[in-house]
Structures are given as C-alpha cells and as structure tokens.
Amino acid sequence: MTEMNVLYFEGNIILSVLLFTMGILGLVWKRNAIAVFLSVELMLNAANLLIVTFAYRYGLMAGPLLALFIMTVAAAEAGVGLAIFIALYRAKRNIRVDEADVLRG
C-alpha cells in the first residue's frame, strides 16, 4: 500500500505540472476568448491538485481548506470574467481575442 501512495504523490505532481503547462499553451494559442478562460480554469485546477497532493502526503489540514478557498475565488473570477465577455460581445458582436484591436497591442 505504501508504494501506491507514493505513486499517487509523485504521479500527481507530474500531472499537476502537465495540466498547468497545457493551460499556459491553451492561453497563448487559442483565439476564442471562452477557450482562453477555460485554459485559466485548467491552470487553477492544476494548482488545486498540487495543493491537495501535498496535503495528502504530509497530512496537513490546511490542504482541503486552501483548495476550498481557491475554488471559491475561481468561481468569483469566472463570474466576473463571463460578465465582461458578455459586455464585450454586446459592444463588438464578436469575441475573438486577436480581433480586439481597438486598442493596439
């Protein structure tokens, strides 16, 4: 049983970093704004996994609590983010990140 626990621990670290980098790639590469925001959620999920894995490994109670806080903040951010998307869509009838060019980048 101890080998499986260790496997979970190290495997999850690798999984978390993998998901995080995939989130970064998604954010840089995708042009659709909703897909960009999905990548940000993926990154936050990866961070959550990392924290819970460490909490499991070292038996820390802070882990689940931190995960709860991060999830709540992610929810709040998603709410405001989607509201801004809606406002932008109504203003421009379109939500492509590379076409947001009223302000030159």
Partner 1 sequence: MILYSTLFLITVLGAAMVLFNKDTVKAAMSLILVMVSLAVNFLLMNQEFVAFIQIIIYAGAIMVVFLFVVMLLNLREREQAPWYLRSTRLWGGAMAIAFFLLISAGAFQFFTVSGVTPTGTLAEPIDIISLSTALITKWVLPFVLTSVILLVAVIGAVVMARKQDEDGNEIMVEAD
Partner 2 sequence: MIELLAMTQSFQAYVPSLNLYQVAPFGLLLIGALGCLVADAISNKEGSRRVLPVISFAALISAFACFLLPLWPHNVTFFEGFLLADKFGVLGSMTIILAMLVMVVLGPETVRRRNLPSGEYYALLLFAAFGMTMLTMANELITAFICIEILSLSLYVLTGIDRRSARSTEAAFKYLILGAFASAFYVMGAGFLFGATGTTHLDVMTKVFLAGSRTFPGGVVESLNAIYIYVGFALIFVGLCFKLSLAPFHMWAPDVYEGAPISTSMVIATSSKVGAFALLYHVLLSLGFWDPFYESSGFILSFVAAASMLWGNLAALVQNNVKRMLAFSSVAHGGYLMVGFAALMSLTNSAPGVALEDLQNEICDSIMLYLFGYTVLNVLAFGIAHYLGKGGEGDMKGYRGLWRRSPVAATGMALAMLGLTGIPPTVGFIGKFYIFRHAVEQDLLGLAVIGVLASVVSAFYYLRLILTMFMMDEEQGATGLATTEGQVLPFGRTLVLGIASGMVFLFGVYPMIFLAMSRF
Enumerate binding residues for partner 1 (CB under 8 A). 1-2, 4-9, 11-12, 15, 18-19, 22-23, 25-26, 29-30, 32, 34-35, 37-39, 41-42, 45, 48-49, 52-53, 55-61, 63-65, 67-69, 71-80, 82-87, 89, 95
User: Using CB under 8 A as the criterion, which residues of the chain lie in contact with partner 2 when the complex forms?
Assistant: 16, 20, 23, 27, 33, 36-37, 40, 43-44, 46-47, 50-51, 53-54, 57-58, 60, 62-63, 66, 69-70, 73, 76-77, 80-81, 84-85, 87-88, 91-92, 97, 100, 102-105
Nearer to partner 2, 3 or 19 (CB): 19
Residue 46, amino acid: A
3-class DSSP string for the chain: CHHHHHHHHHHHHHHHHHHHHHHHHHHHHCCEHHHHHHHHHHHHHHHHHHHHHHHHHHCCCHHHHHHHHHHHHHHHHHHHHHHHHHHHHHHHCCCEHHHCCCCCC
